[in-house]
């Protein structure tokens, strides 16, 4: 169920809001994978920051899809210009 919600939000570029532990997180989801220990995780950019963070599936609850769309943050190297 979580995977379907996350895949849909990644494809449609919708932001998500969920509880992670006791914290409410608003996330621009980028991709889903497994970490080194084999646990399923999602990577994304937390709202109002430039940091991409990892969140473990088993600690995510109350997922809400927001209808705010986003475009992924793509770093551009100034040395190539």
Per residue in 12-67, pLDDT (tens digit) is: 999 999 999 999 999 999 999 999 999 999 999 998 788 889 999 999 999 999 98
Measure CA of the first residue to CA of the last residue in the chain; give whole Å. 44
Give Cα 70 distance to the centre of its chain: 11
Higher per-residue pLDDT: 63 or 69: 63
- Let me know if residue 77 belongs to a domain: no
- In this structure, is residue 10 part of a structural domain? yes
Number of domains present in the structure of the chain: 1
Within a domain: 63: yes
Residue 15 maps to a domain: yes
Q: How confident is the model at residue 74 (pLDDT cuts 50, 70, 90)?
A: low
**Cα–Cα dist 78/81, whole Å:** 5
Top-confidence residue, 69 or 74: 69
**Domain assignment of residue 75, yes or no:** no
- pTM for this structure? 0.81
Contacts 24+ apart (CB under 8 A), 71-78: 71/13, 72/13, 72/28, 72/30, 72/45, 73/28, 73/45
Q: Report pLDDT for 75.
A: 57
Range of 28's domain?
2-70
């Amino acid at each position: 169920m979580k995977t379907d919600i996350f895949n849909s939000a990644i494809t449609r570029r919708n932001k998500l809001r969920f509880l992670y532990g006791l914290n409410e997180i608003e996330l621009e989801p980028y991709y889903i994978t497994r970490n080194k220990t084999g646990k399923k995780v999602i990577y994304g950019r937390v709202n109002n920051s430039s940091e991409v963070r990892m969140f473990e599936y088993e600690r995510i609850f109350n997922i809400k899809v927001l209808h705010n769309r986003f475009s992924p943050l793509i770093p551009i190297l100034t040395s190539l210009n």
